[in-house]
Structure formats: C-alpha cells, structure tokens
A and B are shown apart, each in its own frame.
Chain A
Amino acid sequence: MNLKPVNNKAWWMVLPVVVLVAFSAVIPLMTVVNYSVQDTFGNNVFSWVGTDWYRDLLRSERFHDALGRQFLFSAIVLLIEVPLGIALAVAMPRRGWGVAVCMVTFALPLLIPWNVVGTIWQVFGRVDIGLLGHTLRNFGIDYNYTQDPLAAWFTVIIMDVWHWTSLVVLLCYAGLQAIPEQFYAAARIDGASRWAVFRYIQLPRMRRVLLIAILLRFMDSFMIYTEPFVVTGGGPGNSTTFLSIDLVKQAVGSFDIGPAAAMSIVYFLIILLLSWVFYTVMTSTRERS
C-alpha cells in the first residue's frame, strides 16, 4: 500500500533537464529518423520511401568498404594505443619533479584542437617541407601520403597514436597511483619479479580505468573525422574514407539527405551496440574474477 501523497510538483523540477535533453538529443535524432524514411528534391517537398534507404545502404559496396576501413582503423589504433599507454604509465615516475614534467608533456596533445592536429601532421608529413616526409624520403623510403594508400594509413594511424595515447597513459597512471604502497612492499617480500608485479598487482588494479580508456578510444576512433579529413581528405582515392567522412560526403557533398540520414542511424546503432558489447564483456570478466 502506498500512502505517500502523489506530488506532481516533481515534474516541474525535472522539466529543465527534460527540455534540454529533448532539444539537444531526442528532437534532432527524430528529425534524422524522419529524413531517413523520405526522399526529397528540395523545396521542402518530401515523399515517403519506407525502408528503401536502409536497404540500399546495407547492400551498398561503398558502405561496406567504409565500414571495413573503419573497423580496421579502430582495431589498429586500439592495439597500439592501449599496450603503449599501459607501458608508458608503468614507466612514469611515481613521485618527484618528473611526475609534473611527464603529466604536462602527455597532456599537450590532448589540448590541441583536432583540426590543428591534422594540420600539424599534414605539414609534418609533406615530402617537400615536412620533417617526417622529407627525412623518410632522404632515407630512400618512398613515402607520399597523397599518392600511396599505405603511406596515408601510416600517417593517419601515427597521428592518432600521437594524439590519443596520452589519454590512455593518464587514465592508467591514475589507476596505478591508487595502488597502496603496501602491495609493492608485499610483492618484494614475496620475491615477485618485475613482471609478476605488473601481471598480478598493477594490471588487475588498472582494470576499471582500462575499461574506460578502451571504451573512450573505441568510440572516438570509430567516429574519427577531423584529423584524417585535414590530412588526406579521405584519399588517395577512397583509401582513408572512414564512415564519418563518407557520411559528410553524402550529406553535404551530394546533398543526399535521405541516404545520409539512414547511414547516420545505422552508424549510431553500430557504435551503441559495440560499446555495449565491450562494456558487458569487460565488466563480466571483472565480476567472474
């Protein structure tokens, strides 16, 4: 039996948030859903097409290619950034003046606007005036990211590693700092090797922050747009056209609002689904142990 008086005043309290979320997320999303089932030739005239755009999209080779590139990119980036980030965090000094130096150094790439990061690497990689491109060329390596897809991928991946490994480092470092000194003392008494300390003390205790780091890096890398757009513009050819770049090409470039909307929805659902899978897998392994 519920004797609490029903007080509808509560609705007024949550109203500001409801309005904010409605305007910032729900309404735009619904607009996109609305576009994705209609066709238009401009002049605000729309015609109902049902699930045609979705069917077309899921059968289109262009989408499959972009999706494949996107998965490959995220996988490579995660495989490099996570181990590298852990290694750097473990190697960072735990106290003293070195901590501040490392922190600032690692934080720097995170503070740079994304299009500036793109510009930096665009110049850095140029064979005529860029330090990286010119040096590689002098070593006799045929490096040109505007012509060679492999060189373009190399540049985009190195750029992302440079830009985002710091995030993994800082998160892992925070996790490491939370380990009480006694654990290390006990490990010394137990005669544990450096590797055993990492394997049985540091790694298990970094699990939570690693979960966050991997989730953030996956979502961000899966949505990457600015930096590769600035450096390669999706080329050469379509070799670095990732999902978001392809999406913009369709929506803004060709003004195909319907197909672009359908692609947005599918894109969003993929990220949502994969994040959920990551989260579930990682939290359940945590509970089992």
Chain B
Amino acid sequence: MARITLENIAHSYRPKPNGLDDYALKPLNHLWEHGGAYALLGPSGCGKTTLLNVISGLVTPSQGRVLFDGNDVTLLPTEKRNIAQVFQFPVIYDTMTVYENLAFPLKNRGVARHEIDRRVREVARMLDLEASLARKAHGLTADAKQKISVGRGLVRVDVNAILFDEPLTVIDPHLKWQLRSQLKQLHHDLDITMVYVTHDQTEALTFADKVIVMFQGEVVQVGVPQELFEHPRHTFVGYFIGSPGMNVVPCTVEDGHAIVAGHRVAVKAAAARTPLQGKLEIGIRPEFIALSGNGAGLPVRIRRVSDLGRYKIADVELRDVPLKVMVSERAVIDGDQARIVFDPLHLHLYADGHIVEEPGFEGAPS
C-alpha cells in the first residue's frame, strides 16, 4: 500500500528531444494518495498512457523520479513494483483455464499452492467468475476476458495500485456500465489506488473521485468533477468536459472589461490583472447563459434550436460570434431575435488557454 509521487517527471520517445514539443509527457509533479480513485482524461495522444506506463515501469521516464512511499522506484522493473495494469484490449493466456490465468501472477512469484487457491477463489467470487473457473479462457466474451485481466491484478495481495488503460473500449455498451460499477465497488471494498485512463468524460466523471485532465502532454487541471465543470482552468478542459463544451470566444480587455464582438462584458478577472498578455478569450458554458426574448442583455440572432429531450441547445450568433446556449425544455423560442445574459460567476477569462484567476481566488486544492 503506497502513495505514489511523481517528481518532475517528463518523457520523450526520441533519444534526443529537441525542445518541449518532442516530449510526449511534459514535466509534471503529482501525488497519488493511497486508496484514491483517479481518472486520467484527455484525447488520444495526449500522454495519458505514457504517464500510466511510467507509473507501472513499462516506460522509464527521460527525467524525474517515481516514488512509492518515498522510495525511489524509477529504475525498478515492472515486476518488482507491485503494480497491476489492465490494458485496452484484454490480455489473457489463451491456452490456460480461467483459474490458471488468475493464478499465473502468484505462480510466477512462488506463492504456496493453497494460498493461490484461496486468493483465486476469492477474486473469482468478487468478479462473478466462479462459474467459468474450470473452462479455457480462449473463446470467452470480451467483458469476461477483461474481468480476468482485472482479476490477475487483484489476486496479488501486495498490489499498490491498479492502472486501467481505457479498459472498456472493446466492451459492449450495456456491459460497460455494469463493469464500471463493479470496478467502483471493488475500489470501495478493497482500499486500492486505482488510476483509470479514458477519453470518455462520462467514464472519468462517474469512476473517479479526482480527475486529471491532460492535453498535449501536459496536465492542465486536477480536480473533482464539479471543479472541472464550474471552473475549468484551461479552455481545453472547458471544451472537453461537458456536452456541449464551453463557449470560448476571442476578446480584448479594456479598462477592466472584456470586449466581445464589440460589446462590453463585465469580467472580474479582467479588472484585476493588467496588463494581460497572450491570446485572450472568455469562456462560458452553455448552461450559464440565459436566453430571453427581450429585456436586458446582448442581442443575438438565433440560427437553430436542437431539442435533446431534457433540454434544448440554441445556436445563436452575437454579431458573427457563434455561441451555444442551453435552454430549458419548456422554453418557448419565438422568432430569430433574442437577448442573452452571462452568469458573471461562471464567466472566465483565459490568456493563451490558461485561466486568468479572479482577484482573491485561492486556487483549487490539487
């Protein structure tokens, strides 16, 4: 059982990296608390899997240290690290029975036979694999195979953490939910650190207590789902999490106000920090824009309204800036002219993609 510390870890797959762009994983520090359920969320190729492999030891990082409970394990081979990893495509040993598959990691480590038997049966019970213990693993369904992969991690009593690398990719949708709940239950019962890599925000947000969002080899935000939703620290987080994603609109800043498509919009962050540098944008989620037929607010033209069942999404244009607005299912939208009001609490200012913090903001605990 351990807490895992990543100290200034970075990795490049090139032998001689030339500048930061050659790094699949840009320098980062992170602490994985013992017993936490983490999700690594990001698009394909953002470095999630690399980060995971650094923890498990399949990849030795170009720089930095990996510590388990304060002990440096950076150069320790995978099999000595007490880490289990479940891969995207189920890995099973075809010629063995389910029982032998589950016993394999223990057998390799020279565990006594009766102890192996006890562990295998216990794990099989946890994963509902008891009925198929005696049959060959070859020819099982994808979800059963993936359960075996998880089981091979769980049988080891000494395992520090289980790493999941997009484990549900090949599972049928209706079983995905079931398997994910089972994993969540296991995490609850077993007090094991779990790190779950995915590019599916629903998976990440339902599985994890804490979500780490990665983008282009960088960790852009670490937080609980609510923080990611209400306070995206990077435009990418705003765009990637939520459906539809956050509206990100280029702006300029003039005496404490943001100028968006010629309109002055009050943004707290703009008042505090001057001068602001880089590409400036404001970000606001469709949920936090109110649409009204008339009255106060900025005039917009409604292009299209899509009814998603529980709510509607209105595509509007503020001059020529497209925005998405979430409207309640019962709202009546007449004509193509309307006005919008931004919720000032959820209107953020970004410089070069990164949030400009409001004055007095303490920063989210990470």
B89, A289: Cβ atoms closer than 8 Å: no
A186, B87: Cβ atoms closer than 8 Å: yes
Known: A189-B79, A191-B105. A204 touches B95 (CB 8 A): yes
Query: How many chain B residues touch A (Cβ–Cβ < 8 Å)?
Result: 26
Cα–Cα distance between A120 and B316 once the two chains are bound (Å): 82
Q: How large is the interface on A (under 10, 10 to 19, 20 to 34, 35 or more residues)?
A: 10 to 19
A204, B85: Cβ atoms closer than 8 Å: no
Note all chain B residues with C-beta closer than 8 A to A201: 93
Which residues of A does B touch, CB under 8 Å? 180, 182-183, 185-186, 188-193, 196, 200-201, 204-205, 289
Known: A200-B95, A289-B95. A189 touches B83 (CB 8 A): yes
Known: A190-B108, A200-B96. A182 touches B91 (CB 8 A): yes
Q: Which B residues, 104 to 151, have Cβ-Cβ distances below 8 Å to chain A?
A: 104-105, 108-109, 136, 138, 149
Note all chain A residues with C-beta closer than 8 A to B56: 189
A191, B109: Cβ atoms closer than 8 Å: yes
Cα–Cα distance between A222 and B152 once the two chains are bound (Å): 46
Known: A185-B58, A188-B78, A189-B78. A196 touches B108 (CB 8 A): yes
A186, B91: Cβ atoms closer than 8 Å: yes
A200, B58: Cβ atoms closer than 8 Å: no
Considering only CB atoms, which chain A residue lies closest to B105 in the complex? A190
B96, A186: Cβ atoms closer than 8 Å: no
Q: Is B88 an interface residue (CB 8 A)?
A: yes
Cα–Cα distance between A188 and B53 once the two chains are bound (Å): 12
For residue A76, give the distance in angstroms from its CB to the closest CB of chain B: 28
A186, B79: Cβ atoms closer than 8 Å: no
Considering only CB atoms, which chain B residue lies closest to A180 in the complex? B89
Note all chain A residues with C-beta closer than 8 A to B136: 289
Considering only CB atoms, which chain B residue lies closest to A193 in the complex? B108
Known: A183-B91, A186-B149, A200-B95. A191 touches B79 (CB 8 A): yes
Note all chain B residues with C-beta closer than 8 A to A204: 93-95
Chain B, 44-87, contact with A by CB distance < 8 Å: what is the 0/1 string? 00000000010010100000000000000000011100011101
Cα–Cα distance between A185 and B78 once the two chains are bound (Å): 9
For residue B233, give the distance in angstroms from its CB to the closest CB of chain A: 32
Cα–Cα distance between A192 and B78 once the two chains are bound (Å): 11
- Partner pick for A200 among B93, B105, B149, CB 8 A cutoff: B93
Cα–Cα distance between A212 and B202 once the two chains are bound (Å): 46
A190, B95: Cβ atoms closer than 8 Å: no
For residue A189, give the distance in angstroms from its CB to the closest CB of chain B: 5
Cα–Cα distance between A201 and B104 once the two chains are bound (Å): 12
For residue B245, give the distance in angstroms from its CB to the closest CB of chain A: 31
A190, B152: Cβ atoms closer than 8 Å: yes
Note all chain B residues with C-beta closer than 8 A to A200: 93, 95-96, 104
Note all chain A residues with C-beta closer than 8 A to B83: 189
3 smallest beta-carbon distances between A and B, as pairs: A186-B91, A191-B108, A191-B79
A289, B138: Cβ atoms closer than 8 Å: yes
- Partner pick for B87 among A185, A191, A196, CB 8 A cutoff: A185
B88, A182: Cβ atoms closer than 8 Å: yes
Q: Which B residues, 312 to 364, have Cβ-Cβ distances below 8 Å to chain A?
A: none
For residue A185, give the distance in angstroms from its CB to the closest CB of chain B: 5
| CB pairs A–B below 8 angstroms (23 shown) | A182-B87, A185-B87, A186-B91, A186-B149, A186-B152, A188-B58, A188-B78, A189-B56, A189-B58, A189-B78, A189-B83, A190-B104, A190-B105, A191-B108, A191-B109, A192-B104, A192-B108, A196-B104, A200-B93, A200-B96, A200-B104, A205-B94, A289-B94
Note all chain B residues with C-beta closer than 8 A to A193: 108
Note all chain A residues with C-beta closer than 8 A to B93: 200-201, 204
Note all chain A residues with C-beta closer than 8 A to B88: 182
Cα–Cα distance between A24 and B91 once the two chains are bound (Å): 47
